[in-house]
Amino acid sequence: MNENYFYHALRIDHKICFGCTLCMRNCPTEAIRVRNGKATIYENKCVDCGECYKVCPSGAVYVAEDDFQSIYNFKHRVVLMPSVFLGQFPEDIKASQVYSVITEIGFNHVFEVEASAFLHTILSNKYIREHETKKPLISTFCPAIVRLIQVKFPALVDNLIPIKAPVDFTAIYIRKKLIEEGANPEDIGIFYITPCAAKIAATKSPVGEDISTVDGVLNMDTMYNIVLKEIKQKKEFNKKITANNDVTSDCVIFSLTNGERRLNNFKKSFAIDEIHNVIEFLEKVEDDEIEDLDFLELRACDESCAGGILTCGNRFLINDRMMQRAKKLAERERNGETSRRKAIMNEREYLTQNSHVGKI
């Protein structure tokens, strides 16, 4: 593959587009132009933030997705589910019901992405402490932000923390675990449920990596509709399947605004969401208007992953459901009903050895 090639998940259907220019006017990186009455995305400027998708009145902007049937190319089918996926469902639907249905529609294993968020935090904080001359260090959790900095703020590229995202750590962990249990590596297929287009792009064209840690991406809106339909049609669920115990209360809300920042103790750090807010802040950083910053948590979507363009609910309600789940988990942790140390930490040394990405 051409090293300059970068996959983009956002597409425009010219049969539907009528050239209203709304997408062009709302694109934060000026990556869209209207030619001959049709919008065209300039790939060298696009960061897959999805602003065009949100404002398109005709539905001409869409997000490309992998065929769900591709999961059956593998014997061991793993789905990596972000905590925000559970936040889509109303309170009367239990996490165990979601897990049960996901296994019934074709997956052998269900694992929450944020299981590795605590390890990700440990390694990121260590990197920040060891590279104080590069301040501010910028989180690479949000791939739209990584791409934004590459495109619009190249002087800040060296400030990006070259640590893999939690989805990569979790994928590496589950693949190792299955191989140790006797699975043939070629029979393992790991699929990630994504709340946004940028994470599809990051999977297809991983920055600083030759190949992705996951084998496919499933759009969250598609998966939500499949799972919700099955839940509504079912009268009984497999009681042997329960929500896994692999995430801590902190991990559950890691993908929300302030999810990373709250886990570090640096003197001056900020958590900023919504891409226009991020751009405004980075312009001040680039112009040295803001000094002595230690760490920046930057997210392209309003309310971070709860506001992803492929989510199916109100971002504030999703946020609240995730916060309520985290509170319940925290109470169980305090009562000794569950441990804050999870199984994935037993592979800390192995994951640490595979934690860094190449040049961004």
Instruction: Tell me the per-residue pLDDT of 203-231, one tens digit each, with 9 for 90 and over.
Output: 998 888 888 999 999 999 999 999 999 99
Which secondary structure element, helix H or strand E, spans residue 79, and what is its range? strand 76-81
User: Within a domain: residue 360?
Assistant: no
Nearest to 175 by CA among 144, 127, 147, 212: 212
Answer for the pair 71, 197: CB distance below 8 angstroms, yes or no: no
Note whether 273 and 156 are same-domain residues: yes
Low-confidence residues of the chain: pLDDT under 70: 1-4, 239-244
User: Within a domain: residue 47?
Assistant: yes
User: Within a domain: residue 359?
Assistant: no
Q: What is the pLDDT of residues 153-196, one digit of tens each?
A: 999 999 999 999 999 999 999 999 999 999 999 999 999 999 99
**CATH classification of the domain holding 58:** 3.30.70.20
Note whether 43 and 142 are same-domain residues: no
Note whether 47 and 195 are same-domain residues: no
pLDDT given at position 2: 47
The structural domain count of the chain equals 2
Note whether 182 and 277 are same-domain residues: yes
User: Within a domain: residue 318?
Assistant: yes
Note whether 117 and 182 are same-domain residues: yes
Note whether 91 and 231 are same-domain residues: yes
Note whether 29 and 127 are same-domain residues: no
Q: What is the pLDDT of residues 255-271, one digit of tens each?
A: 999 999 998 878 899 99
Give me the domain span that covers residue 121: 68-353
Helix axes 143-152, 197-204, angle to 10 degrees: 80
Would you tell me how many other CB atoms lie within 10 Å of the CB of residue 212?
18
pLDDT given at position 267: 83
User: Within a domain: residue 5?
Assistant: no
Note whether 114 and 42 are same-domain residues: no
pTM: predicted TM-score of the whole model, two decimal places: 0.93
**Domain-terminating residue out of 63, 79, 99:** 63
